[in-house]
Amino acid sequence: MTVKENGTGENRNGKRAKRPLELSTRLAGYILKKKLKGRGKFPLVTMLEPLEMCNLACIGCGRIREYKPVLDKMMPVDEALAAVRESGAPIVSIAGGEPTIHPRIDEIINTLIEEKYFVYCCTNGLLLERIMDKIPPSKYLCWVVHLDGMEEKHDESVDREGVFTKAVDAIQSALDHGYRVCTNSTVFRTSDIADLSEMFRMVADMGVEGSMISPGFDFEDAPDQDMFLTRNESHSLFQQLLDPENSEGAIFYNNPLYLNFLKGEREYQCTAWSNPTYTVMGWRKPCYPLADEHVEHVKELFDQDIWDKYGVGKNPRCGNCMMHCGFESATIFTAVKTPKDWVTLIKAGSAHKGGITAA
């Protein structure tokens, strides 16, 4: 592992990469336009899963188990681009599976960048070095590297030794090459607060834009169901994790209203229709965590009939869900109607964040 120990949080150009202002202004303009047209439900972030295969088998991952019969399926480039354009959201979060395994991921990402979508590519970091040769840095691209703790905890979470070291090396290399980089951490009952806090400080010192956090969703296909937090347990864990003493030196990418929600200080109803997820089997219906069916067109995800049946208090499977895709987006939609909350988001420079990452 070759982490620079300068503690400045700066890359080799002497700068911490920053989220571009254009992201906030574009998203604000996009929301305003949709509202003026009277659209109640519309996408903020397209979640694109161009494959479900992975080079890891993390213990909390539902995807590699749910899509076992189609793990070898690679989404054609045209189909991936068509899904993003059909959704029309200005932000695209690419996940899977491990996106860097897709043999034509560079074509997908480079085309989306050319078309000025803001792309967040979620990766475990193992193949990042290889793929960086084919995708130049851009303000429209941010690598989001999965880290669930320091070495012992992360390697335990991904069920393989040595992955932490490779992921941290990949982060350092991406920063040195001038890419925007974030990290993404899923929090489980087995997570250790001191260990996570140390990791958040370490990556902030390295110069990442920020760390995204959320509790893991209790995917019914995951082998160990005891690892997932209940809603009340999540509140208590995030209260400790986000306590100023524990979070000193960390930089969180999530917006402050979502962090308050994680601590149980605010309640929101899920707005997961704003993060439609396109997979090798079509659009997941109703949402990123649940796929009771797959449908052909994104517009099939916006019917009120669906959202009468899903969300907190409406469906038992939603009871413990606090994921970005449902609730960070909800903070944005609620803030649009609440000037005080909107000011909070603008001040934090995070009015753009609509639940970008997978978990």
At its nearest, how many Å lie between ligand SF4 and the CB of residue 286?
5
Distance CA 64, CA 95 (A): 12
At its nearest, how many Å lie between ligand SF4 and the CB of residue 275?
8
Residues lying near ligand SF4 in the complex (CB under 6 A) are found at 54, 56-58, 61, 63-64, 96-98, 124, 146, 158, 270, 272, 286-287, 289-290, 310-312, 317-318, 321, 323, 325-326
At its nearest, how many Å lie between ligand SF4 and the CB of residue 98?
5
C-alpha distances out from residue 198 to 68, 165, 182, 203, 357, Å: 35, 15, 16, 9, 22
At its nearest, how many Å lie between ligand SF4 and the CB of residue 61?
3
* Residue 255 or 320 with smaller CB distance to ligand SF4: 320
* Residue 247 or 274 with smaller CB distance to ligand SF4: 274
At its nearest, how many Å lie between ligand SF4 and the CB of residue 328?
11
Write the DSSP string, 244-269: HHHHTT--B-S-HHHHHHHTTS----
- Antiparallel, parallel or unpaired: β 91-94 and 45-48: parallel
Q: Which helix (H) or strand (E) holds 25?
A: helix 21-36
Which SS3 state, helix, strand or coil, does residue 349 take?
A: coil
* Residue 66 or 205 with smaller CB distance to ligand SF4: 66
> Which are the contacts of 324, defined by CB distance < 8 A and separation ≥ 6?
212, 214, 254, 258, 275, 355, 356, 357, 359
* Residue 23 or 54 with smaller CB distance to ligand SF4: 54
At its nearest, how many Å lie between ligand SF4 and the CB of residue 183?
13
* Residue 138 or 329 with smaller CB distance to ligand SF4: 329
At its nearest, how many Å lie between ligand SF4 and the CB of residue 271?
8
Distance CA 82, CA 119 (A): 15
Place of tokens 């979060």: 93
* Residue 85 CB neighbour total at 10 angstroms: 12
Distance CA 250, CA 198 (A): 9
At its nearest, how many Å lie between ligand SF4 and the CB of residue 156?
13
> Which are the contacts of 87, defined by CB distance < 8 A and separation ≥ 6?
43, 46, 276, 278, 298
* Residue 260 or 315 with smaller CB distance to ligand SF4: 315
* Residue 262 or 318 with smaller CB distance to ligand SF4: 318
* Residue 4 or 317 with smaller CB distance to ligand SF4: 317
Which SS3 state, helix, strand or coil, does residue 67 take?
A: coil
Of 216, 308, 230, give the one whose Cα is nearest residue 270: 308
